[in-house]
Structure 1
Amino acid sequence: MENLNKFTFTLTVNESEIDDLNHVNNIHYIKWVQEAAQKHWSILSNPNLDALYVWVVLRHEIDYISSAKLHDNITVNTWIGNSYGVKSERFVEIKKDSKVIAKAKTIWCLLDKKTMKPSRIPLEIIKVLELKND
């Protein structure tokens, strides 16, 4: 049973992501969190929804547990939490060797693409966010 509410991708740490302390700079974890959301939404969404709405970040909370280094293989897991009003929660775990090295919670806000103002999440999108393929 596949759960489309969850999404995973992998990457290998490259030299441009390494800082003066010889590990991945914190900004790249945020980049991976955003990349996870964008990639997952591109699977869940469709051109009709994308023409009407856009998501923006209201808040990122991130816990750095351990570090990643050059050439480490990283797995990024994301899933959708509660969606309510104009907001939707998204969670991300970043793993190295099956060990969580960072975790994040992001609050996203749905905007009407024409007005760029917050839009209550319509039932059509709620259904997409809660989609499970039994």
Structure 2
Amino acid sequence: MNPQRGQEGGSAFVYPITVGPDAIDELDHVNNAVYLTWVQQAITAYWVAHAPAEEVAKIAWIALRHDIRYRSEAFLGDQLEAKVLLRGFRGSRSQFEIQFSRGSVSVAEVDTTLCCIDRETRQLHRITHELARHFAIVA
């Protein structure tokens, strides 16, 4: 997979996905739970692509909440894009929107709230403007 930055003001990140056989359920489409795995993979790729290695080694992100809206089915072999947008942050929490699409077809949209923690201590880590600048949300 070859993630890349999006074109919307530098704040979007595109994570490509090829639907493999392990994503398919008994109804021959992508299983709902697989979208959460893709959310985690896309946000992790976004973080790794934007943050310095020392920040990636120090900080982890854990899920607090996911809200998924399914728009269309996805099938084996489909080429999807997960567009990741950081919507904002406060304290140790951040809000992301992930838009899954197949070409111009919207497949699913996920609103996700993550919490930033220190990898070593497992304590909450406040998202500072210095940290947020890696996501190009702060000028």
TM-score (norm 2): 0.86
What does residue 57 of structure 1 align with?
Answer: 63
**Preserved CA contact (<8 Å) 2:132 2:138:** no
What does residue 78 of structure 2 align with?
Answer: 72
What does residue 13 of structure 1 align with?
Answer: 19
How far did 1:83 drift?
0.8
How far apart are the structure 2 equivalents of 1:51 and 1:76?
24
What does residue 92 of structure 2 align with?
Answer: 86
How far did 1:11 drift?
2.2
Structure 2 unaligned regions, length at least 5: 1-5
How far apart are the structure 2 equivalents of 1:85 and 1:118?
9
**Preserved CA contact (<8 Å) 1:52 1:112:** yes
How far apart are the structure 2 equivalents of 1:62 and 1:39?
20
How many aligned positions are there? 133
Percentage identity across paired residues of the two chains: 29
**Preserved CA contact (<8 Å) 1:5 1:132:** no
How far did 1:131 drift?
4.5
How far apart are the structure 2 equivalents of 1:98 and 1:21?
23
Say whether 1:109 aligns with 2:119.
no
**Preserved CA contact (<8 Å) 2:129 2:138:** no
**Preserved CA contact (<8 Å) 1:14 1:71:** yes
What does residue 50 of structure 2 align with?
Answer: 44
Q: Deviations over 1:3-27 (max 9, x none)?
A: 3321112222111211101111111
How far did 1:82 drift?
0.8
**Preserved CA contact (<8 Å) 1:4 1:132:** no
Report 1 or 2 for greater relative contact order, CA contacts < 8 Å, sequence distance ≥ 6. Answer: 1
CA RMSD, Structure 1 to Structure 2 (Å): 2.0
**Preserved CA contact (<8 Å) 2:48 2:56:** no
How far apart are the structure 2 equivalents of 1:76 and 1:12?
11
What does residue 3 of structure 2 align with?
Answer: none
Q: Deviations over 1:66-103 (max 9, x none)?
A: 11111112111111011111101111000123111100
Q: Deviations over 1:10-59 (max 9, x none)?
A: 22211121110111111111111111101111111112212332111111
